Amino acid sequence: MKTMARTAIKQALKANQSAEICVKGWVRSVRRGKGVSFIALNDGSSFDSLQLVLAPDLANYDQISRVGTGACISVVGTLSESPAAGQKWELQVFEAEVIGAADDSYPLQKKRHTLEFLRTIAHLRPRSNTFGAVFRMRSALSFAVHKFFQERGFLYVQTPIVTANDCEGAGEMFRVSTLDAAKPPQQNGDVDWSQDFFGERTGLTVSGQLQAELFATAFSDVYTFGPTFRAENSNTSRHAAEFWMIEPEIAFADLAADCRLGEDFLRYMVSYALEHCQEDLAFFNQRIEKGLLDKLEALAKAEFKTITYTEAVELLQKAKQKFEFQVEWGCDLQSEHERYLTEQVFNGPVFVTDYPKQIKAFYMRLNDDQKTVAAMDLLVPRVGEIIGGSQREERFDVLHARMDECGVPQKHLDWYLDIRRWGSCPHAGFGLGFERLLMYVTGMENIRDVIPFPRTPGNAHF
């Protein structure tokens, strides 16, 4: 076979003149005709496959025209204008080689599969139309995250994955330990963590926020973008045990500035997708969520509403809709409440601010009413909470007292208190769940379908 550089199918489909090229990829379908045969070849570079035209004078025509769906092949041919509707180019093949064969036990045959079935073959689903589109979108938006913050002069900080601190205080950390699980050393009737690898009890981080705050009090504007882990046993379509979070932290900023940053960021992500991922979005719009494009275009222009938690509770109490959970001032909002607010009342994104202190984390800044904290959640239709953030408590004494109140041991967080001791300043930040963003932008309804290899209770196989 001729040695020739490989052309990505995306490039081939965009060609503006006929050319001799080599393409490699995986067979999506084979159609054997009387005269010629057709193969749809996809290499993941674009949603569309390239149509290969095989004529019987091809040396190994019999082998190639009988190749199985899923096989990996390499071909050389001439790009020529296609008479078929919906495609500009096809490839008249004059050399072909099977790189990796596939027989008919290959699970991704032509018929449409359910997303549930595709989850059971997470190792093969990237080769399907839907997951090709999802993971191209994931890659594009990852890049856009960095682009947004770098363009604004933010410093990218990699916060640790192993940590001794439960930032959210919800007790959902996965343990990291090298102690003998069957017989850990004991002291005073408890495990003696001082003998563990790090000399104290450690786990996988639930958030990079606390360390990001340290960097914000040195570099002013910073962000993290990395994996976070939560051992919450909630089997919902919006929770994963391992997910990626984007956490900006800004010095000299209050809650209002934090909300503006969140709004600008979400708008930027959506605009980026609209501009750079048109082909995949067209597919999502047609097959996954009808009206998705209109929704995204509306969001790119929408005014984000802001209400306080107290106003939200009043709206929910006045609602005609029956909720499974009754709403009272002081209770946490359930996803049914969040969705009612964003879908029924505002029909768009809404910030809910100033939550009761007892349902929020210790680090949020106490408001003058002494009852609420300067917190914000951004709610969007269908997904619910997409951002959670706050202004941070920068006053040493108040933070100290809040830690006591919340039962947060100070000996673990002496370093966190130190930045309030020396050169403290008002600062704020938020966390945006990257998978929730992807669900919003693609219309996919289950978080398991926007992560390459989802980790949920009972699932870490692939």
- Span near ligand 4AD by CB under 6 A; candidates 141-149, 151-159, 238-246, 402-410: 238-246
Does 389 contact ligand 4AD by CB under 6 A?
yes
Residues with Cβ within 8 Å of 89's Cβ and at least 6 positions away in sequence, in order, are 12, 13, 15, 50, 79, 80, 81, 82
Does 281 contact ligand 4AD by CB under 6 A?
no
Q: Evaluate whether 346 touches 392 at the Cβ level (below 8 Å).
A: no
Query: DSSP assignment, residue 222?
Result: E
Nearer to Mg ion, 122 or 386 (CB): 386
Question: Residue 12 Cβ, how far from ligand 4AD at the closest point, in Å?
Answer: 37
Question: Residue 347 Cβ, how far from Mg ion at the closest point, in Å?
Answer: 22
Q: Evaluate whether 99 touches 73 at the Cβ level (below 8 Å).
A: yes
Nearer to Mg ion, 195 or 234 (CB): 234
x/- map, 397-436, ligand 4AD, by CB under 6 A: --------------------------------xxxxx-xx
In angstroms, the CA 368 to CA 375 distance is 13
What does 213 bind: Mg ion, ligand 4AD, none (CB cut-off 5 to 8 Å by kind)? none
Nearer to Mg ion, 402 or 436 (CB): 436
Interface with Mg ion (CB under 5 A), residue total 1
Does 209 contact ligand 4AD by CB under 6 A?
yes
Question: Residue 385 Cβ, how far from Mg ion at the closest point, in Å?
Answer: 6
In angstroms, the CA 55 to CA 58 distance is 6
Nearer to ligand 4AD, 277 or 364 (CB): 364
Question: Residue 223 Cβ, how far from Mg ion at the closest point, in Å?
Answer: 18
In angstroms, the CA 370 to CA 294 distance is 42
Question: Residue 117 Cβ, how far from ligand 4AD at the closest point, in Å?
Answer: 23
Degrees to nearest 5, angle at CA 304 with 303 and 305: 110
Does 388 contact ligand 4AD by CB under 6 A?
yes
Chain residues 379-408 in contact with Mg ion, contact rule CB under 5 A:
388
In angstroms, the CA 253 to CA 255 distance is 7
Chain residues 166-205 in contact with ligand 4AD, contact rule CB under 6 A:
167-168
In the three-class reduction of DSSP (H, G, I as helix; E, B as strand; rest coil), residue 295 is classed as helix
**Of residues 22, 41, 118, 240, which one binds ligand 4AD by CB under 6 A?**
240
Contacts 24+ apart (CB under 8 A), 15-20: 15/79, 15/89, 18/78, 18/79, 18/80, 18/81, 19/78, 19/79, 20/76, 20/77, 20/78, 20/79
In angstroms, the CA 59 to CA 94 distance is 8
Residues that bind ligand 4AD (CB under 6 A): 167-168, 207, 209, 230, 239-240, 243, 245, 247, 385-390, 429-433, 435-436, 447
